[in-house]
Structure 1
Amino acid sequence: MTPTSRGILAMSASVVVFIFNDALIKLAAETMPPLQAIGLRGVFATMWCGLALLLRGEWPQVHRIRHPVVALRGVLEAVAAISYLVALAYIPFAIATAVNLSTPLFLAALAVLLLKETVGWRRWSAIALGFAGVLMVIQPRAGDVDVWTWLVVFSSLAGALRDVIARWVPPTVPTLVVSMSSAVTLAVVGTGWAVLDGWQPMSHYGVALVLGSSLLLACGYQFLMIALRSGAALAVIGAFRYASVLWAIAIGYTLWGDVPNLLAVAGIAVIVGAGLYILHRERVMRRTSHGR
């Protein structure tokens, strides 16, 4: 299997797994406080990652979780995940997923600030257009601030910072250790916060939803890191991330009867189009820099 095929398959798998994981945690948040569900999911995900490390004989490498870059990525993952999943409990599933697709837009802008990449007027125009699409989805009104949807925007920014940091993770650090770092941080922050707020009784149904979500989360982390480390061009595999919005619309309608209005649908199309164009320009620039 070629690196490109491997990267595409891994990214596609991560998209499906993460979307269903989000759906399960949204359902679980209907039976318990959102932060409690997030923290419990982090505990279960830590157990899955630990078991996988043992089975693969990589447990002796677990100390690398303390590497500064790995730890910082874990913190940013926790910030992005908690802010997104808390907001997800209060807004439609498809809307949250669509707004979260602004992560690549933030990533393109941060590449200039942190990675010193050169971004031309075409990509800047696409970034601006993409954020206009985000506003079309949010549909802000004077005097009516939708805190939860803007929290998803903040989550996207944190996720972009996480992805930038991921590029500096040493190649010697096993993928499962990176995944475990994210799970441990979520477990500590989520459960700690939930305890301070007052731990609530949980039904067997709610715990089962969180358990299933945690397994999907651990698998999603692994698939995503495999995709990022496959050697495939990010401009190619990144395009497959946008399939998540189709899954989100279908799941949101099936489980909650959510149907985005026409302006939101148009905004989703703008976000996806802008993101795909940015990925296209990155591929063009990479080919030009290599003289192809």
Structure 2
Amino acid sequence: MSLLAKFSAGADDRSARLAGIGLMLLAIFMFCMGDAIGKFMVATYSVGQLLLLRACAAFAVLSPIIWRQRAQFRNLERPRLQLLRVLLSSLEVAAFFLATVYLPLADVTTYYLACPIFVTALSAIVLRERVGWRRWSAILIGFCGVLIALRPSTQTISWPALIALGGSFSFSVLLLITRSLRATPDVVMASAQFAGTFLLGAVMAPFGWVTPDAGSLALFALAGCIAVGALLCVNRSLKLAPASVVVPYQYSMIVWAVLFGFAVFGDVPSPATIAGAAIIIGAGLYIFLRERSMGREDTGVSAPG
């Protein structure tokens, strides 16, 4: 290969990586915006209504893609595992928005920052992947960060915090299953997730139904469209650049969660939340660096909510 060809290939690779990073940052911004809209809506409407109407809007956007790629929905691999993934995804989204009814957006996001740590721990326990003492140390430090943010005591621990932490753990199991179903097309996975939230929302929505006005319907539709756009950006980002390059940028979600929480709801994160988030991010980034040095770039995560 000539020097010019090598230079061009290197430039193309750098351009793809930069594009992947840019799309990941855009996706995280969109996810956090959608989460803020969701938190705003569940102050008036039920979580079931949010899940139902958000999924309807998502399907309206996805329907042309689903129709064009309908052949990919046949003969899915491991259907029982696919069903478990949809169930976990639906419960996780419901837990996230239920927690935001009672907790600041930054607090809920902090618990979800622990997902890479949970994934690494579960990979060793469930998938029997080799995890050395350095990463186990990072996992333990990350759990300490979770405990600091959770502030466990008889006076401060709450069910919403436990729901958020449970949602984070469910999301981690979801990621492990997704890793096992890598052969499943992206459109199938995304559609299945929205189908699950649609069905769960249809079951929950009649309880405490509040008829939305035109403005609220527009916000529900916006939340669904944003979720689809963010999901497509994440998938494209992971195709343009290795997971070990773009996934650490998902930690920018805590910045947007703090900003949206303050701007929209007047929430100011507590020192414990900030300290816990910093420890979790540090531990998670170390795990990602170890994954990259070990040559394992398939430990990717998607933003919650």
TM-score (normalised: structure 1)? 0.89
Instruction: Give per-residue Cα distances to partners, 1:92-112, cap 9 Å, x unaligned.
Output: 011111111111111011111
Alignment counterpart, residue 218 of structure 2, candidates 191, 208, 223: 208
Per-residue CA distance 1:18-41 (angstroms, 9 max, x = gap): 111101111111221122112221
**1:104-253 correspondence to structure 2 within 5 Å:** 104-171=116-183, 173-195=184-206, 197-228=207-238, 230=239, 232-253=241-262
| Matched AA of 2:64 | L
Does residue 51 of structure 1 match 2:51?
no
Kindly indicate whether the alpha-carbon contact (under 8 Å) linking 2:110 and 2:273 is maintained by their aligned counterparts in 1. Answer: no
The share of aligned pairs that are identical, in percent, is: 29
Q: Is the 8 A contact 2:39 2:100 kept in 1?
A: yes
Shift of residue 11, structure 1, vs aligned partner: 2.3
1:257 aligns with 2:270: no
CA contact 2:47–2:201 (8 Å) conserved in 1:
no
Conserved? CA contact 2:46–2:208, under 8 Å: no
TM-superposed CA distance for 1:205, in Å, is 2.3
CA distance in 2, matches of 1:36, 1:212: 14
RMSD across aligned positions (CA): 2.0
Paired position in structure 2 for 1:83: 95
Query: In the alignment, what sits opposite 1:37?
Result: 50
Q: 1:219 to 1:63 in 2, by over 3 A?
A: farther
Q: Which amino acid aligns with 1:224?
A: V
Instruction: Specify whether residues 65 and 72 from structure 1 end up closer, same or farther in structure 2 by C-alpha distance, changes over 3 A only.
Output: farther
| DSSP-derived class of the 1:89 partner | helix
Distance in 2 between the 1:18 and 1:122 partners? 32
Q: Distance in 1 between matches of 2:39 and 2:165?
A: 18
Q: Give the letter for the 1:44 counterpart.
A: A
Conserved? CA contact 1:25–1:38, under 8 Å? no
How big is each residue's C-alpha offset from its partner over 1:123-143, in whole Å with a ceiling of 9 and x where there is no partner?
A: 111111111111211212225
Q: Take 2:233 and 2:90, find their aligned partners in 1: how far apart are those partners?
A: 18
Q: Which residue of 2 aligns with 1:93?
A: 105
Partner of 2:299: none
In structure 2, do the counterparts of structure 1 residues 250 and 74 end up closer, same or farther at CA, with 3 Å as the change threshold?
same
Give the letter aligned to residue 179 of structure 1.
A
Q: CA deviation at 1:63?
A: 4.0
Q: Following the alignment from structure 2 to structure 1, what is the Cα–Cα distance between the partners of residues 286 and 217?
A: 41
Corresponding residue number in structure 1 for 2:289: 280
- In 2, Cα distance between equivalents of 1:100 and 1:276: 14
Q: Tell me the equivalent position of 1:290.
A: none
Give TM-score scaled by structure 2 length: 0.85
Instruction: Give the alignment partner of residue 33 of structure 2, picking from 3, 9, 20.
Output: 20
Unaligned runs of 5+ in 2: 1-11, 297-305
Q: Distance in 2 between matches of 1:63 and 1:9?
A: 33
Structure 1: runs of 5 or more not aligned: 288-292
Cα distance in 1 for residues equivalent to 2:235 and 2:142:
26
- Regions of 4+ moved over 6 Å: none
TM-fit CA distance, 1:115: 2.6
Query: Which amino acid in structure 2 is aligned with residue 81 of structure 1?
Result: V
Structure 1 CA distance for aligned equivalents of residues 204 and 92 of structure 2? 15
What is the distance in 1 between the residues matched to 2:142 and 2:261? Answer: 23
CA distance in 2, matches of 1:141, 1:86: 22
Spell out, residue by residue over 1:131-168, the C-alpha distance to the aligned partner (whole angstroms, 9 max, x if none).
11112112122254311111111111111111111122
Deviation at 1:81, TM superposition (A): 0.8
Could you tell me whether the CA contact under 8 Å between 1:65 and 1:177 is conserved in 2? no
Judge which range, 40-49 or 252-261, deviates more: 40-49
Aligned to 1:11: 24
